[in-house]
Structure formats: C-alpha cells, structure tokens
C-alpha cells in the first residue's frame, strides 16, 4: 500500500471525535514545547551576549574616570557644567525677616556661598554623592563629634569633596533614629602635595547632596554617568575616523623595479634614503633611474552622520536642546522655543533638586550651628531661566513703546468716534476710552492715575525703553507685601569660568 493511500485503512470502532480532540491536544502541547524551547534559546543567547563587554563599556565608573574625562573631552565637560552654570549664574534671593536676611547676607559675602554651591553641584554630577564641610570660626571641638549650638557663630570655610575623597565612615543602625541607615560620620581624605591625611567629620557639620537618587538621598546616579556609553561611542567615532584618515588619506608609494634591471648597491642605498626623506617630509622629490614610482592614492572618511546621531542622543539624554548643547555659535541660532524648553528644564531643576537638596538643608545646618536664627516661612526667589538676547529685547521694547503710545492716544481722546449712520449709545451701553485703555493695560487703575502728568511719564518711559532696548518689568520694583520681610542681597552674575 502506498504511503498516501489511506482508502484501505480500517477505522471501524474508532471514535473519530475523540481522535480529533487527542490530535488537537497533541498539537497544542507541541506548540507549547516549541515556544519554551525558543524562549530558552533566546534567554541563553542573551546571557552569553554581554553588551558592556561587547561594546567596551565599563561596568563601574569611578570619580577619577569622570575627572579625567572632563579634562580630556570637551563635550563631557559641557554636559557636566551646562546645567550647573545656568542654574547658579543668576543666584537666588531669599525672602524672610530683616534680621535673618542681614545674617544671611553676611554668610554669602564671607564664604562665597553660591560659588561653593556651583562647585558642589559639579562634583555631584561626577560621583555617587558629594559633601560640603562647614567650618566655624574659633571652633576647637573634635570634628568627629556633633557640632554644638553657638548663637552668633560665624562660618570660617566651606570645603567640598566627592564621594571618592569622603567615604562614609560609620552608619546609623538604630531603627528608632530618624536618621536610620544614613551616615553617622565621614572619613575625609585630604590629598595634597604635602601628603594624605584622614579626618573624621560628623554628619552635623556636613551638607550631603546626591543627584538622581531613587531609593534614598545617600547614593545617586550622577548626570555624567548617564552619558558615559554615548561618550565612549563618540570617542570611537571621532578618534577612529581621525586614525582612519591618518592612515587612509595617504597610503604611500609603490616602487617598481623592472625585472631585467638590477640596481647598483650605491644606487639602492640612495633610493632608500630619498624614499625615507620623502616619507618623513624632509624631501619633496625623488630622483630615480630605471625605477617606476606610483602613488597608491588615498581615501577620506566622513564621520558626520554618526557624529550627529550621537550628539542627538546626548541632547535627548541631557534634556539640553542640540543647538544650545553645541555652544555659542550654534546657540546664537537656536530658536526661542529651544531656549524656552531649556529654561523650563533649568527652572524645574531649581525647584525639584537645588532647593530641597542644596539650599534648604544648608539653611537648616546653619540654623543648628547658630550661624542663622530660627525662622519659618522662608522663600527662595529665582530669576527666570529664559533670557532674551539684545535683538529680542530691542524688538520687545519697541512693541511696548508702540503699545504705550497707542494707550496714550486712547486715553487722551476727548471725543468718541461716531460711526456714520448710527446714534451714539448711552454711557451705560458704550465702553469709554478709559475703560478700553484699562482693558488694554490689564491693570485696575483709578481715575487719578490717568492724569496728563502720568500719561506723559508713561510715554516718556516707552520712548526710553524703545531707545535703549530695555525691558519694562514690575518685578524688580515690586516690594514684598509684608513690610517685615525683605529680600537678601542680589548677587551679580557669577563668573563661573573655573575648573574643578
């Protein structure tokens, strides 16, 4: 019987339906086993494929690696410093009671507080955490013990360290302690040309900051580590293409000596010397006889495509728009939308990271030491992260000037315009020129504010704004509503051209 001939099969007494069910169950079991086999194959393949090892990425990153990268790689330095520069270049003001603010201004001026915060911010972007040690004038107590409250104490110094130089010496293991599982003390390694010295510092003398922390506020994931793999790829593309260009742009010379010719010993030595001088750039010509010299040519490498892909990846990772990331020349062409998006990132960073991790804990430490008096309800005030350039400020001022001139014309209009063919409506139904001006300005001004003298000042101010390209802002002239609360001194823009 042929294999395909089933006509003579005896199926008498066979339950066909049961057979179909059994076959279906067998097929399902086969499919399940095949899926399981496929899963195990992919799982085992994934275990064997170590991406860090395959692509040459380090498993762990150290502070020294971060430091060396920022020293040798300008893009890494830019990624580290750009968020810190735009955060601290316009330091905030603190709003509080007059006595507190006067003491706080003394701290700012005596220890260069905001510059120290800027440097601490950069260190936190390079290691799992960074600390700032607060030293007090005249304090001779053991630094490994809790700081004592001394009303009127003064700050002697602020010194910042990365986690590499300030490992945790002892942890708090008491589950009933509010600082459970947090550092009790740090071991500071002061490394200098005079040698290395270890000092134990109690946590009450230390400001601890960590960027990108999830489980706790002790260890974080610094921003430079986030970009590490992409920066490695960038080095491969830039360095590799440069090396390829070096070898491929000039591939050398082909020297052919015909088979029926034989060079004399002196001639061969002279030819070798000329070829060596030509290769080293000493000579520009080669004198030969009975020798054929042919350039091997060369090729060039264009890495711009991969380079742009990696730069875009860094822009996405950091949240910095690409044109702003590339620097001044490209940043000058960046759109207002790019700068507005980055300004929003800076404002969010100030509110969600700088204030709760840097500034407020610093105030609490200074209060506990007696440097500042106790005061609730303090408020930080920042300048907007969005800055108009000179051209935009001029255009903005020009628009304001034109608008204010139109307001003056509207307010000084003595007679209301009558549309031909219509009757003048009653005062109740008709919106007066003054009300129109009110709506245009957007302020609730009284009738006294619309005197001729006030209007003249408004127009003069508009012309000045148009002339000098300055913005008109009520914010700088506004006073704090509570007369007992004042702002801290406004620190000028800080020059942050410092190295780590």
Per residue of the chain (500 residues), what is the pLDDT tens digit?
445 555 565 555 656 666 666 777 777 888 888 888 877 776 666 556 677 888 889 989 999 999 999 999 999 999 999 999 999 999 999 999 989 999 999 999 899 999 999 999 999 999 999 999 999 999 989 999 999 999 999 999 999 999 999 999 999 999 999 999 999 999 998 766 566 678 999 999 999 999 998 888 899 999 999 999 999 999 999 888 888 777 777 777 777 777 667 777 777 778 788 878 777 777 777 777 777 777 777 777 788 899 999 999 999 999 999 988 887 554 455 577 888 889 999 999 999 999 999 999 999 999 999 999 998 889 999 988 787 767 777 777 777 777 766 766 665 664 444 444 444 333 333 344 444 444 444 444 444 444 555 545 555 555 454 444 444 444 443 444 556 667 777 665 555 443 33
Neighbours of 16 (CB within 10 A): 8
Domain ranges of the chain: 63-224, 250-295, 390-415+431-487
Contact residues for 67 (Cβ-Cβ < 8 A; gap 6+): 126, 500
CB 389 within 8 A of CB 120: no
DSSP 357: I
- Helix (H, G, I), strand (E, B), or coil: what is residue 196? strand
On the 0-12 / 13-18 / 19+ scale of CB atoms within 10 A, 489 is middle
- Helix (H, G, I), strand (E, B), or coil: what is residue 129? coil
Neighbours of 249 (CB within 10 A): 12
Contact residues for 139 (Cβ-Cβ < 8 A; gap 6+): 147, 150, 153, 156
Task: Tokens for 425, please give them.
Answer: 């409506």
């Amino acid at each position: 019987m042929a294999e395909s001939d089933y006509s003579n099969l005896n199926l008498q007494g066979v339950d066909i339906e049961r057979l179909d069910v059994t076959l279906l169950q067998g097929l399902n079991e086969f499919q399940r086993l095949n899926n399981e086999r496929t899963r195990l194959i992919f799982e085992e393949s994934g275990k064997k494929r170590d991406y860090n090892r395959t692509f040459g990425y380090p498993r762990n990153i150290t502070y020294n690696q971060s430091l060396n990268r920022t020293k040798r790689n300008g893009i890494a330095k830019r990624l580290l410093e750009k968020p810190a520069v735009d955060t601290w270049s316009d330091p905030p003001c603190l709003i509080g009671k007059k006595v507190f603010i006067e003491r706080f201004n003394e701290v700012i001026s005596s220890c260069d507080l905001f510059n120290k915060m800027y440097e601490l911010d950069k260190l936190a972007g390079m290691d799992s955490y960074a600390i700032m040690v607060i030293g007090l004038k005249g304090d001779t107590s053991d630094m490994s013990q809790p700081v004592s409250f001394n009303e009127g104490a003064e700050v002697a110094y602020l010194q910042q360290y990365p986690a590499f130089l300030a490992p945790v010496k002892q942890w708090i293991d008491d589950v009933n302690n509010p600082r459970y599982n947090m550092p009790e003390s740090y071991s500071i390694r002061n490394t200098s040309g005079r040698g290395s010295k270890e000092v134990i510092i109690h946590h009450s003398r230390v400001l601890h900051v960590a960027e990108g922390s999830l489980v706790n506020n002790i260890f974080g994931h610094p921003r430079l580590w986030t970009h590490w793999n992409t920066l490695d790829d960038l080095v491969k593309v830039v360095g590799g293409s440069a090396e390829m260009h070096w070898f491929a742009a000039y591939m050398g010379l082909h020297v052919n000596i015909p088979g029926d010719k034989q060079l004399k010993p002196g001639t061969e030595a002279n030819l070798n010397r000329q070829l060596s001088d030509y290769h080293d750039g000493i000579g520009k010509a080669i004198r030969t006889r009975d020798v054929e010299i042919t350039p091997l040519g060369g090729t060039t490498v264009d890495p711009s495509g991969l380079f742009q892909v990696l730069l875009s990846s860094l822009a996405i990772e950091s949240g910095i728009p690409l044109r702003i990331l590339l620097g001044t020349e490209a940043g000058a062409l960046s759109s207002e939308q790019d700068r507005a998006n980055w300004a929003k990132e800076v404002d969010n960073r100030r509110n969600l990271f700088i204030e709760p991790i840097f500034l407020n804990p610093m105030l609490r430490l200074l209060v506990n030491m007696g440097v500042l008096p106790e005061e609730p309800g303090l408020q930080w005030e920042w300048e907007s992260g969005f800055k108009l350039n000179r051209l935009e400020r001029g255009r903005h001022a020009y628009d304001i000037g034109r608008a204010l001139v139109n307001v003056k014309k509207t307010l000084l209009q003595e007679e209301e315009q009558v549309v031909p063919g219509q009757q003048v409506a009653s005062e109740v139904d008709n919106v007066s020129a003054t009300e129109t001006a009110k709506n245009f300005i957007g302020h609730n001004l009284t009738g006294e504010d619309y005197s001729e003298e006030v209007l003249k000042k408004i127009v003069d101010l508009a012309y000045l704004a148009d002339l000098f390209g300055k913005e008109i802002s009520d914010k700088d002239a506004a006073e704090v509503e509570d007369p007992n609360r004042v702002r801290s001194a406004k620190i000028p823009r800080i020059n942050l051209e410092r190295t780590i």
